[in-house]
Amino acid sequence: MSNSSEEFIPSLYDKMIDNTSYTNSNNKVTRIIVDTHNQNRKKSIHSECILKDSFLGSCNGIINAHSIQNSGILDKLSENNYVLPLDNFTELFNIDIEKLLLGKNEATIFRGFCKKHDEVFRPIEDIEYGYNKELQNYLFAYRAFCKRYIDSKSSYNYYSKRFSDFVDSEKLEGVIEKHADIPIQRKEIREHKKTYTNKRQVKRMEEFNKLLKKNEQLKFIFNTNLEKQRYFKIQTLELEFSAKNILACSSMIDIATDFQGKLFNKNLKYPLFLSVLPVGDTTKVLISYLKTHSTYLERIINVIKNSNVHQQEIILSNILIKNANNIIFNPLEFRKFNEKSIKIIAGGQLRRTQSTNEPLVTLKLNIFRPQ
């Protein structure tokens, strides 16, 4: 067997397993995999009103809800109605930002509410931040959670069919065999690889089931406190940076290790809810958590709180790039990043998990000051 095929097939199957980095878009087989991946992703999108059967009565139709306010926030970050989501991070290596731009009406949407129940977000949709902080902080944290809730279910749908639709698909295998421009591995070797891909799949689905269970508990907590108007059950650290119209974010985040790299959140039981919003000439950062989790999170929160503004910007840059999803950049501002900064951003986005003993802040980058 030639070296080239040895190199080719393991990476092919690993890509099928880990599905992230398809950087060589000139390769026909890679393109087939990427297309299949994208089709399966689309088919897997989950739709569900998170407030169905709730105190707010029956639902009407599910809509494409914005997880980041369209008129007030995305407007401020758009260039000719386009914004830059940081989701397709691997492609940032190619630094063709123009291809990654997305119309602001399509950006950050998720199918987590019906038209009627999406109205619950009026106090953060229609009114600028500050008029009723307790309620608004609650709703920002709630919406960050809801996006994660729906995304997790979409990922579950995707992965539960992945092995049969993707790895163990004779049809796809036939297409790949036909189009491979170098000889691919023998059938029996491929079959052997599938058996351990399947083992990983079983393990992954176990993890997913735990995650979905945890999300159900959080949904119950959020919906109950919303109903009883116990907004104080969410605590929020509010920061303000003198950065104008750079980026926005709405994301639930899991941080496992602290500033020294000490593990304090092993099973990711204590989530944070992060909202970054341009307000006037500044950028507001809201870091929220359940009051019942404050004992576990207050040390980290206090370090952030007691840091100077410059340090806070660096800390938040690290958290955003390494731990958050659903980040929207102003394209005009993003183009100001030099190649070195873009490599740091892309590298941080690629590595989505904290390694053991890894301190929270490792990247020398301030994404609030593009350069």
Choose one: 58-66, 158-166, 234-242, 244-252; the region binding Zn ion (CB under 5 A): 58-66
Sign of the dihedral defined by the CA atoms of residues 125, 128, 129, 132, in that order: negative
Among 45, 59, 211, 363, binds Zn ion (CB under 5 A): 59
User: Count of residues binding Zn ion (CB under 5 A)?
Assistant: 5
Nearest distance from residue 49's CB to Zn ion, in Å?
Answer: 3
Give yes or no for a contact between 113 and 50, defined as CB atoms under 8 angstroms apart. Answer: yes
Nearer to Zn ion, 49 or 300 (CB): 49
Q: Closest Cα to residue 159, out of 243, 325, 237, 44?
A: 44
Give me the least distance between CB of 116 and Zn ion, in Å please: 6
Q: Which is nearer to Zn ion, 56 or 361 (CB)?
A: 56
Using CA atoms, how far apart are residues 269 and 258, in angstroms rounded to an integer? Answer: 15
Instruction: Give the neighbor-by-neighbor strand order of the sheet with 272-279.
Output: 102-103, 82-85, 327-329, 247-253, 272-279, 282-290, 234-241
The least CB distance from residue 226 to Zn ion, in Å, is: 13
**Within positions 104 to 163, which residues make up the interface with Zn ion, using CB under 5 A?**
114, 117
Q: Cβ 199 to Zn ion, closest distance in Å?
A: 39
Pairing, β 82-85 against β 234-241: unpaired
Q: How far is the CB of 73 from Zn ion (least distance, A)?
A: 23
Closest approach of Cβ 105 to Zn ion, in Å? Answer: 21
CB atoms within 10 A of CB 66: 23
Which of the ranges 54-62, 76-84, 320-328, 337-345 carries the binding residues for Zn ion, by CB under 5 A? Answer: 54-62
Q: Please report how close the Cβ of residue 223 comes to Zn ion at its closest, in angstroms.
A: 11
C-beta of 54 vs 169, nearer to Zn ion: 54
Check if the beta carbon of residue 111 is closer than 8 Å to that of residue 150. yes
> What helix, strand, coil percent values describe the chain, rounded to 5?
55, 15, 30
- Report the nearest approach of Zn ion to the CB of residue 52 (Å): 5
DSSP conformation class of 371? -
Rounded CA gap, 12 and 193, in Å? 11
Which one, of 365, 260, 266, lies nearest residue 320 by Cα? 365
Q: Is-contact 318 253, C-beta < 8 A?
A: no
Q: Is the dihedral of CA 212, 214, 215, 219 positive or negative?
A: positive
Closest residue by Cα to residue 181 from 18, 4, 20, 15 = 4
Q: Any contact of residue 63 with Zn ion (CB under 5 A)? A: no
Q: Given the complex with Zn ion, which of 54 and 362 has the nearer CB atom?
A: 54
Select the residue interacting with Zn ion from 12, 49, 139, 146 (CB under 5 A).
Answer: 49
Q: Which positions from 69 to 108 touch Zn ion by CB under 5 A, shown as an x/- string? A: ----------------------------------------
Q: How far is the CB of 48 from Zn ion (least distance, A)?
A: 9
Decide whether 59 or 363 has the Cβ nearer to Zn ion. Answer: 59
CB of 114 or CB of 218, closer to Zn ion? 114
Of 28 and 115, the one with the shorter C-beta distance to Zn ion is 115
Dihedral, 291, 295, 297, 300 alpha carbons, nearest 10: 130
Largest CA distance in the chain: 69
**What does the chain come to in residues?**
371
Q: Which is nearer to Zn ion, 49 or 316 (CB)?
A: 49
Q: Which is nearer to Zn ion, 139 or 184 (CB)?
A: 139
* Contacts with Zn ion, residue ranges (CB under 5 A): 49, 51, 59, 114, 117
